[in-house]
Every structure is written in C-alpha cells, then in structure tokens.
Amino acid sequence: MKVIETDLPGCIVVEPQVFGDARGFFFESFNNDKLAGHGLDLKFVQGNVSSSSRGVLRGLHYQWPKPQGKYVSVIEGEVWDVAVDIRRGSPTFGQWTAVVLSAENKRHFWIPEGFAHGFVALSERAVFSYLCTATYDAKADAGIRWDDPALAIDWPVTDPQLSDKDARAPLLADVAVDRLPVYPVSGA
C-alpha cells in the first residue's frame, strides 16, 4: 500500500497493493492498521454508493455539525474528485486539491472532517463507493457552489449536470459563519 500526501494537508491518497492471479485480482479497500502509521485512526459508521453518468457533478457537499470524514473510491469508471478546506480558522481555508479516481487506478482518497467534497463523472458511468466517519444527518447536510469563483476550482468540465440542490448552492462567502466547520474540527 502506498500513501501519498496531497498538496492540501490532511487529504491523502492511498494506492492499495493489488494481488493479481489467474482468477482476477484482490486488494484491501481499507486497512486501519496500515493507515495508523500516517497518524490516522479511522472508524467508519456508514457506507454509500452512487452511480453517475458522464458529466454529472455531485458537490460541493459537507455536514456541519456532525462532520463526516470520507474515504472515497470508484468501482466502475472514472471521476475527477475534489476536496476543499472550509474549516474556519484553518491555515489552508479555501484551498482545494483534486485527484482522478478510477476502477483502473484503484486509488482511495481520504477527505477529513470539515472539508467539502465533490466529483464529476468522466466516464460513461461512474460508480462511486465511500465510507463515512459519521452517519447522514439531513439537517446538517450542506453545500457550496461547485464553481465558486473564490475557490477557482479547475474542474475539467464547464457545463455539468447538477441536482436542483447543487444548482442552488450558495457561495462560500454567503454561508452563515455558524454553518461552517471550525478548525480544528473537534471530535474528529
């Protein structure tokens, strides 16, 4: 297993060791002991799966209170995945990092509590599978605009397909202060 630090502290990429044989392949999609060496002790309480057709963009989403850390991967197709630091008081507030996740590269991406997350499907269909460190709370579910000019995220698409909720999402600057995570995120 290879752990790759990104240019946004806290967000890491994990490339699992893949065991191939005449039957196909096997890899550990998550192993907490092997991540402990990178200061992580991840406990997941919910798993999600979504399927998106090419050009669908889901995001930028976060939960607050009751923030969710996410360990995300793609089991069919390919996505361009982005994490944004929206923790008030963070030295990297407003910074983002992106990674291509695919069934082919088998990469996993750890997005800590307090970050906003989103992705756009690059393949005909992208099946996205991820684990969360907190359960879903519709009242805490929140989002910011995918194309917020203050974030200047370099999305590989210009006219994505959005849910009505995402199409109506506010700019980061317009989010009430008490609706944004606080750095450091307590209980994380």
Ligand X SMILES: Cc1cn([C@H]2C[C@H](O)[C@@H](COP(=O)(O)OP(=O)(O)O[C@H]3O[C@H](C)C(=O)[C@H](O)[C@H]3O)O2)c(=O)[nH]c1=O
- Least Å distance, CB 163 to ligand X, is 5
What is the spatial distance between Cα 70 and Cα 87, in angstroms, rounded to a whole number?
A: 15
- Give the nearer residue to ligand X in terms of CB position, either 61 or 87: 61
Please report, as ranges, the residues that interact with ligand X according to CB under 6 A.
Answer: 48, 50, 58-59, 61, 70, 117-119, 136, 163
Known catalytic residue at 38? no
Q: Smallest gap, in angstroms, from Cβ of residue 79 to ligand X?
A: 9
Q: Which is nearer to ligand X, 17 or 46 (CB)?
A: 46
The DSSP secondary structure of 112-164, one letter per residue, reads -TTEEEEEEE-SSEEEEEEEESS---TTTEEE--TT-TTT----S-SS-B--H
Is 61 among the catalytic positions?
yes
Assign residue 59 a region: left if phi > 0, alpha if psi is -120 to 50, beta otherwise?
left
Q: How far apart are CA 187 and CA 112, in angstroms?
A: 12
The least CB distance from residue 135 to ligand X, in Å, is: 7
Task: Pick the catalytic residue from 38, 61, 108, 183.
Answer: 61
Q: Closer CB to ligand X, residue 127 or residue 182?
A: 127
Give catalytic residue positions: 61, 130
